[in-house]
Amino acid sequence: MKKSKTPEANTVHRLLVASQEVWRSTASKVIAGLLLALLIFEAGIYIGSGRISFSGSGQNPKLPSQLNYSSVNQVYDDLRAQYNGKLTTNQLLDGLKTA
């Protein structure tokens, strides 16, 4: 026959088992949290680099492949012909950027 354990030994054994279960539960939560953080970080990298997109292709398909600047050139030619002052190339470019 087996010798029965004392009540104190049973209590110590139960406390050890309970503490191991708590440790396993805590460790699994920490590992799951770290994996989730890593997954969110990786998703941020892929979204930031453009590998993952939520808005389709990211380009407007209705735009033409080549833009027609003839109207801009016409305005430039009119301004050049009718302007009385002096303009530098940088001033013209700044005007185009702000208009």
> 14-23 pLDDT, tens per residue?
777 778 887 8
Q: What is the pLDDT of residue 57?
A: 62
pLDDT tops 50 at residue 1: no
What does the pLDDT read at residue 2? 55
Instruction: Write down the domain spans for the chain.
Output: 1-53, 67-99
Identify the pLDDT of residue 15: 76
For residues 50 and 42, the answer to whether their CB atoms sit within 8 Å is: no
Evaluate if residue 26 carries a pLDDT over 70: yes
More confident residue, 87 or 57: 87
In whole angstroms, give the CA distance from residue 86 to residue 70. Answer: 23
